[in-house]
Amino acid sequence: MTRRFALVDRDGTINVERDHITDPDQIELIPGSADALVRLREEVGMGIVIVTNQAHMGRGELAPADLDRIHERLLGLLAEDGAAVDAILHCPHVPDAGCACRKPAPGLALEAADRFGFDLSASVVIGDHAGDVGLGRAVGAMTFLVLTGHGREERASAERLADHVVPDLAAAVDIIATLLPRGR
């Protein structure tokens, strides 16, 4: 059996939502998110890929090197709490670019599945936007809308796409651990 994976949104799901993060110092973990990622990996045995839309790159407001520094900070904060991820994938395009990678399009999920060799229909997608749960629907994954970040304001448009609506990432992991225990 191949390893299952979770595709997890970044802003508003793992770290505190800030309007277009452009500086590593803006990264602050949502309380409990690192522990939730540890549980996802250790208790459930899932791989973890962060998938994030970064339109401000396409608008010229964020250079690739700056995004790298932001992700280094995020990974460092997660590591301080014992959490790790397999990869961070991003879409650098503006919403109207028509690309295949901007969530809810399946490009980032397809890239992750190709890179790590997992079945998208056996994966989970967790995020605070309709685009996140839309991505999950597009690839046949189990979907979770978290009510952190933009989740509360996105709920009306996203709830119909979500298999589960939960307060935060930790609550999503509680359900995943029950439904998909290690080895199943």
Determine how many CB atoms are found less than 10 A away from the CB of residue 15: 25
Q: Are 116 and 124 spatial neighbours (Cβ–Cβ below 8 Å)?
A: no
Q: Which of 133, 19, 31, 25 is nearest to 72 (CA)?
A: 25
Q: Are 39 and 152 spatial neighbours (Cβ–Cβ below 8 Å)?
A: no
Q: Which of 16, 102, 117 is nearest to 56 (CA)?
A: 102
53, containing H or E segment: strand 47-53
Q: Is-catalytic flag, 168? A: no
Strands 142-146 and 164-166: parallel
Q: Is-catalytic flag, 25? A: no
CA–CA distance, 40 with 50 (Å, rounded to integer): 13
Catalytic member of 9, 128, 132, 168: 9
| Helix, strand, coil share of the chain (percent; to 5) | 45, 15, 40
Q: Are 86 and 49 spatial neighbours (Cβ–Cβ below 8 Å)?
A: yes
Residues classed as catalytic = 9, 11
